[in-house]
């Protein structure tokens, strides 16, 4: 780590404070001089956990060049809205109104009286092919920044959760990065690393029937032999921790997280089911606990029952017998605390008492992995 003075950090789109926690974890001497976000639920959580940080509940476009100059910051940490770039969204890119604030930042950057030394940006996979990213790189080059882009999933840090995301770190001279930069996007944390085979983006489409026919026979559930093999291989990756290390130890009433009978009957064949011994889980999105398909994994809490045996010939049974069979697995949602654990939030992170479980899932689904960002901050500074 360079001998650096205490850095003044501006946290834009601050959400529930994932960037702030990453900054703390990185051990870089720094203070967040202001956090900016318009989401009232996220702001309540941020204030609850960082009561002494100035939080500006306003739009970024509502801030003038003078407002930014007054903050006199050395670093920007930001996670602009990802909806314009997700592969299942409309991909409005720069025409999406939600991109407006980000383009406003790019417009302000060259005009700041003192440009920040460091910039870190996080977004979804898909951002790297957008016009917004082209505008970002153009602005950085004009302002003489050196930069590096990454696509990283927490699995490359041994965390059993796929959340493939785009990251960019930028630095102003003097000084360069401590690693050789590349015009290519680096996948994972090491240049030599092959693309992260465990990473499944959160908008990974469920294969259609015709695609399934092409990829092999369906074994059980709506999974092909290839999909099943991939999951088995992920569970053999000993460099990745087991999910049990992230589960709540205290005896909270877990029954309230059990999947209701109606959900079991309707979605049993579409769920991604994992066990405490698994070394994988799919990305948790803001719809978790509300929608079932493609929003995150569910946990089989009764491990004495073999998953395959429950799903074998399931479709031949009556609804009553089908339910009886499925209930044996004791399938439950991961709790918000467990998802926060997988996303690297520290033990002292908490939600205000009045916050509903649904609200907690929503904000976590919009957040980022703290450990990944912490590593990137260290990489950017050193």
Asked if 7-196+369-381 and 209-362 have one fold, the answer is no
How many other C-beta atoms can be found within 10 angstroms of the C-beta atom of residue 287?
16
Q: Is the pLDDT of residue 324 over 90?
A: yes
- Summarize pLDDT for 327-341 with one digit per residue, the tens: 999 999 999 999 999
Q: Read out DSSP for 43-57?
A: HHHHHHH-TTS-EE-
Domain residue ranges in the chain: 7-196+369-381, 209-362
Mean pLDDT of 23-48: 97
Mean pLDDT of 3-9: 84
pLDDT of residue 183: 93
pLDDT band, residue 312 (cuts 50/70/90): confident
Q: Is the pLDDT of residue 217 over 50?
A: no
The CATH code that applies to domain 209-362 is 3.90.120.10
Catalytic residues: 82
- Residues 161 and 270: their CA atoms lie apart, in Å, by 18
Percent of the chain with pLDDT over 70: 85
- Summarize pLDDT for 290-311 with one digit per residue, the tens: 888 889 999 999 999 999 889 9
- Summarize pLDDT for 57-72 with one digit per residue, the tens: 999 999 999 999 999 9
pTM: 0.88
Regarding predicted confidence, which is higher, 189 or 157?
157
> Judging by beta carbons within 10 Å of its beta carbon (0-12, 13-18, 19+), is residue 71 exposed, middle or buried?
middle
pLDDT band, residue 251 (cuts 50/70/90): low
Edge-to-edge strand ranges of the sheet holding 146-152: 55-56, 30-36, 7-12, 75-78, 118-124, 165-171, 146-152, 186-187
Q: What are phi and psi of 35, to 5 degrees?
A: -120, 140
Identify the bridge partners of residue 332 per DSSP, sorted by sequence position: 258, 299
Residue linked to tokens 């009886």: 324
CATH class for the domain made up of 7-196+369-381:
alpha beta
Edge-to-edge strand ranges of the sheet holding 273-274: 273-274, 298-300, 331-333
């Amino acid at each position: 780590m360079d001998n650096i003075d205490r850095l003044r950090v501006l946290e834009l789109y601050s959400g529930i404070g994932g960037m702030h926690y990453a900054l703390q974890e990185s051990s870089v001497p720094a203070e967040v001089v202001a956090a900016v976000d318009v989401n009232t639920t996220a702001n309540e959580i941020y204030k609850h956990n960082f009561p002494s940080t100035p939080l500006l509940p306003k739009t970024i476009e509502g801030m003038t060049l003078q407002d930014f100059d007054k903050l006199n910051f050395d670093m920007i940490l930001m996670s602009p809205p990802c909806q314009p770039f997700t592969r299942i969204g409309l991909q409005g890119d720069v025409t999406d109104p939600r991109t407006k604030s980000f383009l406003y930042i790019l417009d302000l950057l060259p005009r700041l009286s003192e440009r920040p030394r460091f910039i870190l940006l996080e977004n979804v996979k898909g951002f790297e092919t957008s016009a917004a990213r082209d505008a970002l790189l153009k602005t950085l080059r004009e302002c003489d920044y050196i930069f590096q882009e990454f696509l990283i999933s927490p699995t490359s840090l041994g965390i059993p959760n796929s959340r493939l995301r785009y990251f960019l770190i930028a630095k102003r001279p003097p000084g360069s990065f401590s690693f050789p930069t590349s015009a290519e996007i680096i996948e994972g944390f090491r240049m030599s690393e092959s693309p992260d085979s465990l990473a499944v983006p959160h908008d990974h489409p469920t294969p259609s029937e015709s695609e399934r026919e092409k990829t092999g026979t369906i074994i059980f559930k709506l999974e092909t032999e290839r999909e099943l093999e991939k999951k088995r291989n992920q569970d053999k990756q000993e460099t990745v921790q087991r999910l049990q290390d992230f589960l709540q130890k205290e005896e909270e009433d877990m029954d309230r997280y059990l999947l209701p009978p109606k959900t079991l009957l309707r979605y049993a064949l579409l769920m991604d089911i994992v066990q405490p011994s698994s070394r994988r889980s799919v990305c948790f999105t803001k719809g978790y606990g509300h929608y079932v398909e493609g929003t995150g994994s569910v946990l089989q809490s009764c491990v004495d029952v073999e998953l395959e045996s429950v799903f074998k010939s399931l479709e031949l049974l009556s609804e009553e017998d089908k339910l009886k069979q499925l209930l044996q697995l004791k399938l439950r949602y991961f709790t918000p605390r467990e998802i926060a654990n997988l996303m690297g939030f520290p033990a002292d992170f908490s939600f205000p008492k009045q916050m509903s479980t649904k609200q907690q899932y929503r904000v976590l689904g919009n957040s980022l992995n703290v450990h990944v960002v912490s590593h990137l901050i260290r990489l950017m500074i050193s």
